[in-house]
Structure 1
């Protein structure tokens, strides 16, 4: 990891306008949790709805998309990546450093608010808050890697990422049984189930399958992004 690249990446990622967008959904999640805390609805079902659908299903992919593409796609689009490519740095080190910044931001902006929202809604009972926090941690890392790859391979990374998140993760991955095995959201839910008390969370994908697929997706996306970045010339084209 290169500290100079990390510092410059973080500075660019948390720009004035982008930070407002990044904070919008976590703040909304916490506000909803505070409002829902006094609801007469079943607390466990309410926690699943808010932490599963809003946090794991919406907050994490949106945050992953913004930070994953934000750490590199903007530099490629405006051509400033040439200054970084001109440095004697291995391309894999550039990618892994930017990914580390993206993952850290995703954890700060999704896993932490999810855990706090879980405590507000359900307390620490049954490991619900901790379970969903772990689920968002692993899903956030995978989304960051996948969307960083999109930022390298296409100039329309945000559009492609939104299409993936809305169509595959939100629709197909949730409602088509066979496709759930290839859904990052469902992988995160498997980790949630592993941490939470027995019977409180149900995941359609087995834990071992989810763990291996998470590793393959994150490592594969990072390796491919490194290869694609190595193919870029100093004018930002392959």
Structure 2
């Protein structure tokens, strides 16, 4: 009996950490180059700029009002999901357009692992942007007001960055799967963001428990001790933090697994220099 070829054994086994790290590194480098990254920077910098303008020109400055509008509405309800959509929509398509997908597919790495590593690379990039500009926005809103200093900044920005990262992971998993199912991923994704995350998540009925934003807000309310009134979240009846964490984790894992399976089963038509 002959033993399997070395390449066949390598592909069938679990991928090495070094191989996965290489895919993640290439994905992050691709996401950070070109003009598109500046669009994301402008999107995330907008809340900081608005916070500075409001603080400087408001007749009666109330930090909590700015925090609610920017940190708890604009960023989690619009900027985070739209950024995840733009990153996830190019997760595979960029490699097809730039003729680099074949490089990944011929490597001794399972196809499902390539997809997971690329998704994680996108999460790392978007989460780093969120952490940077979430911290700057919190500082622009609260620094120096009522004794707000470095410890308070670290706590609030840390919690908001954590909830944004969990949201990014869920959104990229969802939109990555959408990108494999339809070429109109941007249209479908924007529809999802407007309807589910913008409308359904704010309806005080059980259906909003199926949205990412609802559980991200529950975590924010629990961890920062906020009044959930603006979003009709009653701490007495809302899910526990562990439940919302589990919901976000299961959602991310489910859609990431479905995307990895579809990526493994699907055949991609890769462009060649001759246009074939």
Range class of TM-score, shorter chain:
0.7 to 0.9
- Equivalents in 1 of 2:99, 2:255: separation in Å? 22
Matched, 1:110 2:130: yes
The alpha-carbon distance between structure 1 residues 164 and 78, as it changes in their structure 2 partners (threshold 3 A), is farther
Assess if the C-alpha contact under 8 Å between 1:67 and 1:102 holds in 2. Answer: yes
In structure 1, which of residues 187, 193, 199 is the aligned counterpart of residue 221 of structure 2? 193
Shift of 1:200: 4.1
- Aligned residue number for residue 14 of structure 2: none
Assess if the C-alpha contact under 8 Å between 1:69 and 1:147 holds in 2. Answer: yes
Alignment of 1:208-223 (within 5 A): 208-223=242-257
- Higher normalized helix content (fraction of residues): 1
Shift of 1:222: 1.1
- Aligned residue number for residue 228 of structure 1: 262
In structure 2, which of residues 190, 198, 201 is the aligned counterpart of residue 173 of structure 1? 201
The alpha-carbon distance between structure 1 residues 79 and 176, as it changes in their structure 2 partners (threshold 3 A), is farther
Assess if the C-alpha contact under 8 Å between 2:51 and 2:66 holds in 1. Answer: no
- Aligned residue number for residue 6 of structure 1: 24
Shift of 1:155: 1.9
Shift of 1:164: 0.7
- Equivalents in 1 of 2:196, 2:97: separation in Å? 26
Matched, 1:49 2:83: no
Alignment of 1:73-222 (within 5 A): 73-76=93-96, 80-123=100-143, 124=148, 125=152, 127-175=155-203, 177-196=205-224, 198-201=225-228, 204=233, 205-206=238-239, 207-222=241-256
The alpha-carbon distance between structure 1 residues 199 and 53, as it changes in their structure 2 partners (threshold 3 A), is closer
**Larger CA Rg, structure 1 vs 2:** 2
Shift of 1:172: 2.1
Shift of 1:187: 1.3
* TM-score, length of structure 1 as denominator length: 0.87
- Equivalents in 1 of 2:64, 2:94: separation in Å? 41
Structure 1, unpaired ranges of 5+: none
Shift of 1:201: 4.7
Shift of 1:24: 1.5
The alpha-carbon distance between structure 1 residues 128 and 83, as it changes in their structure 2 partners (threshold 3 A), is closer
The alpha-carbon distance between structure 1 residues 150 and 234, as it changes in their structure 2 partners (threshold 3 A), is closer
Shift of 1:77: 6.4
Structure 2, unpaired ranges of 5+: 1-16, 271-276
- Equivalents in 2 of 1:87, 1:121: separation in Å? 48
